[in-house]
Amino acid sequence: MNDALSIAGAPEADRSPRDAEGLQAKKVNPLRSGQKARIVVVGGGFAGVAAVRALRGSDAEILLIDRRNHHIFQPLLYQVATAVLSPAEISAPIRQLEVKQQNLSVLLAEVAGVNVDDRMLEAVLPEGGIRKIAFDYLVVATGMLPSYFGHDEFARYAPALKTLSDAENIRAKILGAFERATTVVDEGERARLMTFVLIGAGPTGVELAASLAHLVKITLVGNFRHIDPSRSAIILLDASKRILPTFAEELSQRVAKRLTKLGVTVLTGVKVEAVDEQGVVAGGKRIPTATALWTAGVAASPLPKMLGGETDRAGRMIVDPFLAVADLPGVFVVGDAASVIQGEHPVPGVAQAAIQQGRYVGQLIAKELRGQETTRPFRYVDKGNMAVVGKNYAVLERGRLRTSGFLTWLVWAFVHILALPQLQNRLRVQRQWLWSYFTGERGSRVIPESPRIK
């Protein structure tokens, strides 16, 4: 999922009938006849949680499966990686949903296989056992994984940012680089340790670079007696001609100027050719660095391909206008795992698009369970994309409206606070942001200890 938060309202749509031929025959698994319909939702991200909540009042048995026990507010994941926030402040336990929703159960497991003909899936439990689960409806909301564009060997040296573990590892890598820099004598090695290269200048790369610039130039100043963190080099690379290619060129140029002002070196039109322990080779030149971070491409999780339908180049399932998989009644794919074309353009992989899709499918299934026909296909309503570029600066694009600066940054902060999963998250993040804003301090500068070998 793209880390820039999109502001969007509830989906509106044109009217056209949903082809439900054969649905009633296949909808209910023969092994479960006479029981309540079972709806299995795989993935506890934005889309999966939205689908579950939309089914709250349904007379059905809902099972939410995820390999993690928590929901992550991904638009703020970069702030965990740069020590602004702690992991608990942007996450919430998925099982908490059971408290508010009586027809819901949560299972900590990873789906390893799906038999759509028998309406059965296999889930691998944490202890390694396998559980077979029958379903009447299946909603796949498994999101995306990092993609290294065929160079998976880069992953060892350039970690991506998709999970809380990723964020904590990156935070430890960044802070650890400064600790190591204080112990070396060679100036070349010290410069390498204090050079940070971010590969990919989409919203994640831009936001991470700006936050990292604030960390080294404000938060860490005076923390080290023998090095000056403000002299660190932060380099943002992208093979595209400009940063933030999904935004208007005008905003892209503004953000590039802002990053330069913050001390970030922006290099566009540069392709990364190699990443190793000593640095990054880009555009035929080697950049010595101990900290390369991957903020570029993504690919769909393996589950959509298990369904046997048609997928796009990124592995996303191509769905019909109702977000259903062709020739698989009762099987839906939503969020980043789905390829949805609206008009002539794909629906963007942003948080609000996933929420709208999940909510739509949940409502569609709820109607079918009541014997009602759904006539409105899904339609994404885009009310704007936002990205933040450090303190006091954000950009917003909504149709022809393009704004940037302090007021836009206030809107960004307000929207993100409201979108956090729980009240306690909102209160904690608001308090930490205020503290960091006025003091420059960051509250999560912890490097986890390595396990001791006895």
Tell me what the mean pLDDT of segment 390-413 comes to.
95
At 78 the three-state DSSP class reads helix
Delineate the domains of the chain, giving CATH numbers in brackets.
23-67+109-146+298-369 (3.50.50.60), 152-296 (3.50.50.100)
Find out whether 130 and 124 touch, Cβ atoms under 8 Å. yes
8 pLDDT above the threshold of 60: no
What pLDDT was estimated at residue 346?
A: 87
Report the amino acid identity of residue 144.
M
Q: What is the DSSP string of 209-267?
A: HHHHHHIIIIISTTS-SS--GGG-EEEEEESSSSSSTTS-HHHHHHHHHHHHHHTEEEE
Answer positive or negative: Cα dihedral of 77, 83, 84, 89.
Answer: positive
CA 134 to chain centre: 29
At 390 the three-state DSSP class reads coil
pTM, two decimals, is 0.89
What pLDDT was estimated at residue 449?
A: 78
Render pLDDT for 49-60 as a digit per residue (tens, 0 to 9): 999 999 998 999
pLDDT tier, 436 (very low <50, low <70, confident <90, very high otherwise): very high
Task: Classify residue 376 by its DSSP letter.
Answer: P
Q: Which residues pair with 345 in a beta bridge?
A: 342
What pLDDT was estimated at residue 34?
A: 60
Query: Rounded to an integer, what distance in angstroms lies between the CA atom of residue 385 and that of residue 239?
Result: 22
Distances in Å between the alpha carbon of 273 and those of 237, 281, 285? 12, 5, 9
Query: Rounded to an integer, what distance in angstroms lies between the CA atom of residue 330 and that of residue 32?
Result: 15
Query: Rounded to an integer, what distance in angstroms lies between the CA atom of residue 347 and that of residue 340?
Result: 6
* Residue tagged 């698994």 (tokens): 29
Render pLDDT for 20-61 as a digit per residue (tens, 0 to 9): 443 433 444 444 556 889 999 999 999 999 999 999 989 999
**Which residues participate in catalysis according to the annotation?**
207
* Tokens encoding 421: 């999963």
Render pLDDT for 303-337 as a digit per residue (tens, 0 to 9): 999 998 899 988 899 999 999 999 999 999 999 99
